[in-house]
Amino acid sequence: MTTPSRYEKDVSWRARYRTFFYAARGIGTLLATQWNARIHLACTIVVGGVGFWLGLRAVEWCLLVFAIGLVWVTEALNTSLEFLVDLASPEIHPLAGKAKDVAAGAVLCAAMVAVVIGAIVLGPKFMKLF
C-alpha cells in the first residue's frame, strides 16, 4: 500500500465536511469584512419576514429566493475579486480600480433586479392591505 501524494484528491467524507467548513468560513469573512453584505443580510431577513407575513405562494418564494441568491452570489464574487486584486496590485493602479468598479457594478445590477422582482411580487399584496 502506497501513501497518496499530496496532489491526489482526498475523496473521504471528512474531506467533504471540510469543504463545508471552508465555505462557511468564507461566508463569515464576507459578513465580517463587507458592510454591504450586512445590509444584504438585513434585507434578506426583512424580505423573508414580510414574505411569511404575506403568505406567499411557492412560485413567489422561488422568485424572491432567486433574486436574493443573485445578490448574495454577486456580492461574494465581488468581495473575492477585490481580495485578489488587492493581493495582485497592492498599489493603486487604474486597471485594478476598473476591475473593482465593474465587479461592484455587477452587484448593483443584481440588487436592482432584486428590487424590481420584490416590487413585482410584494407590491400587489401590499396594495391589497392598504
Distance CA 117, CA 66 (A): 9
Q: Could you tell me if residue 27 is inside a domain?
A: no
Q: What is the pTM of this model?
A: 0.87
Q: Could you tell me if residue 126 is inside a domain?
A: yes
Q: What is the CATH number of the domain that holds 85?
A: 1.10.287.3610
What is the tally of structural domains in the chain? 1
Q: Which pLDDT belongs to residue 129?
A: 85
Q: Could you tell me if residue 64 is inside a domain?
A: yes
Closest by CA position to 103, among listed 85, 88, 115: 85
Q: Which pLDDT belongs to residue 110?
A: 98
Q: Could you tell me if residue 44 is inside a domain?
A: no
Q: What is the mean pLDDT of the chain?
A: 93
pLDDT tens sequence across 65-115: 999 999 999 999 999 999 999 999 999 999 999 999 999 999 999 999 999
Closest by CA position to 100, among listed 85, 114, 111, 90: 85
Can you read off the three cell numbers belonging to residue 71? 445578490
Q: Could you tell me if residue 16 is inside a domain?
A: no
Q: Could you tell me if residue 105 is inside a domain?
A: yes
Segments forming the whole domain that contains residue 68: 57-130
- 75 as an active site residue: the answer is yes
Per annotation, catalytic residue among 8, 75, 82, 91: 75
Q: Which pLDDT belongs to residue 34?
A: 97
CA angle 18, 24, 25 (to 5 degrees): 90
